[in-house]
Structure 1
Amino acid sequence: MTLATDQEGAAPRTARAAVAHALRNATYEILPFKSAEEKVLAHVPTDVALTVTTTEAKGLGPTIDLAASLSKQGYSAAPHIAARLVRDRAHLSDIVDQLRDSGIDRLFCIGGDAAEPVGDYTDALSLLQGLRDLGHPFSSIGIGGYPEGHGSISDELIERALESKAPYADLIITQLCFDADTTIRWARKAQDRGITLPIRVGIPGAISRQKLIRVSAGLGLGQSARFLKKQQTMFWRFFLPGGYSPNKLIQKLTSAFAEQDNNLRGFHVFTFNDLDSTEAWRKAWLARLT
């Protein structure tokens, strides 16, 4: 299963069919915690593609190891490779070789949250260029999109960065999305600027506020502080009366998935490793739609 071909083809004609297609081919993001592999094997079908996040505290090792192990179990698992954690060309070459030997053919390239880069790669663009120079073997490379902006980078710089990265990539995965209208406007603007990559909208899975607190605590003090800062909008919404559910968001996005003025093609579910409830939620949606 690849992200840039079958799953990312033209949207079905009706809005209902388009959303069913997007949920049927949703990708799940998981954290490289000790219990992650066990939870994936217990609750996630092998036809659900995965991405594995990376953290500054743990480094790239646990991310690559988990992606490799899941790949051997029959999953399509794309590790997040954070540019600021890659030392130099030799280090990047070693990473590419390790992933190739593990049968991994998908990547998600990010700049990363480390305050200072450990080496030559300062952002996702420099990492993408480094992969190009190595003649990488990957069939699909994803990059990040920020419909609701970035906490420390101006909107103008974010837009320019997306335009610069797009020629090296095969798809865009957005940050967590909470406002459907903002996301739709952003996707239309990207298409107007000539960015034609398929877009997967990042949405939270069926996760409780208690689980979110435990996940944050498990990241470690420094990493947790950055996580809280980046996700403050999410925390605010989760602690509203009644909490937060992705259902209304999906309903508001439905019509856009059938339109041709944007490249919205799928959902990327931030599971926070709450995989049993997230998969049950996805199946319930598909049952209603089909």
Structure 2
Amino acid sequence: MTGKDIAGLDEAKHAIPLGTKINVTFLDNEDLEMRVAAAKAVKDLGFVPVPHISARRLQSQDQLEEFLGRLQEVGATGHVFSVGGDPTTPEGPYDSSLALIQSGLLPKYGVREVSIAGYPEGHPDIPDDVLWRHLEDKSAALKDQGMDAVILTQFAFDTDPVLDWIHTVRDRGIATEIRIGTPGPAGIKRLLGFARRFGIGANAMIVKKYGFSLTNLMGTAGPDRFVTDLASHLAHDHSAGSEAGGAGAARTAGSVKLHFYTFGGLLATSEWARDFIAAQS
């Protein structure tokens, strides 16, 4: 959710299980009061706030500490998401989420778990070798400071690169829980717009596999097929690893969950997840 989505969260609360993690964005058109109010609303409704901290948008250490202090006052610093952010030139002393983590300030304000970004299909502006090095360095820095980590990925339409990336993460010795970014149901044009913005592969073959066509952009699309396909492959990996033992077990995906991007709104995504779970059971 964004800082402007408090009313939307209240509308969707009936469809969200208590204790669900809800991320709160750090956008350039929002201010401190909006971010803190949104995190407090999440907490007050019985959910777990995960405020984003955009490293390159922070103008000073004082601004970071003010934000963390205000979040701590409303009980919203247990879980945060440290992300680099969009500005090409950093607005202050932190040029990356790694630099933010290495500041050592997060545990001082009660942070116990830090989400860090993962990019199964790469990043349009960052070379793959840099992405992998930072992922490893962030994981090590969090461990050294006694904080837990979660890898939260960009959203995807295709399970194949996601599964390959998960296995590469595990091959590099990173056992952290992974939450795969998944678009909630939304208009097809809107989904493709976000895909272009974030460098996500969306060619005709991939989106057909996901469940919609580039020749018909007027409808909406949900992640039913993507989630089902991903779950099937992960279950097969787990089964194969358990049967193989030893080296085979090391190739299993480990702890993998979902993170929903609510491009179509909190209510639509929450009701979709509720209904999907009910249909499976």
- CA drift of 1:207 comes to 1.5
SS in 2 for 1:54: coil
SS in 1 for 2:167: helix
Percent identity of equivalent pairs: 27
Counterpart of 2:40 in structure 1 is 68
Q: Does 1:103 align with 2:82?
A: no
Output the TM-score relative to the length of structure 1. Answer: 0.76
- CA drift of 1:62 comes to 2.6
- From 113, 120, 123, the equivalent of 1:140 is 113
- From 107, 118, 132, the equivalent of 1:159 is 132
SS in 2 for 1:268: strand
Cα distance in structure 2, aligned partners of 1:123 and 1:61: 24
Pairs aligned (count): 250
AA aligned to 1:173 is L
- From 150, 154, 175, the equivalent of 1:175 is 154
Kindly report which structure 2 residues correspond to 1:245-284, keeping only aligned pairs within 5 A, or say none: 245-258=222-235, 259=238, 261-272=252-263, 274-284=265-275
Deviations 1:162-183 (A, max 9, x none): 1111121511011002221111
- CA drift of 1:229 comes to 2.5
**Residue 120 and residue 145 in structure 1: after superposition, are their counterparts in 2 closer, same or farther (change >3 A)?**
same
AA aligned to 2:95 is T
Answer whether contact 2:57 2:90 (CA < 8 A) is retained: yes
Cα distance in structure 1, aligned partners of 2:256 and 2:169: 14
- CA drift of 1:134 comes to 5.8
SS in 2 for 1:103: coil
SS in 2 for 1:116: coil
Q: Does 1:55 align with 2:34?
A: no
Tell me, which stretches of 5 or more residues in structure 2 are unaligned? 143-147, 239-248
- CA drift of 1:51 comes to 0.4
Tell me, which stretches of 5 or more residues in structure 1 are unaligned? 1-29, 217-223
**Residue 103 and residue 140 in structure 1: after superposition, are their counterparts in 2 closer, same or farther (change >3 A)?**
same
Answer whether contact 1:187 1:264 (CA < 8 A) is retained: no
Cα distance in structure 2, aligned partners of 1:278 and 1:235: 24
AA aligned to 2:160 is D
Q: Which has the larger radius of gyration?
A: 2
SS in 2 for 1:184: helix
Higher relative contact order (CA 8 A, sep 6+): 1
Answer whether contact 2:121 2:200 (CA < 8 A) is retained: no
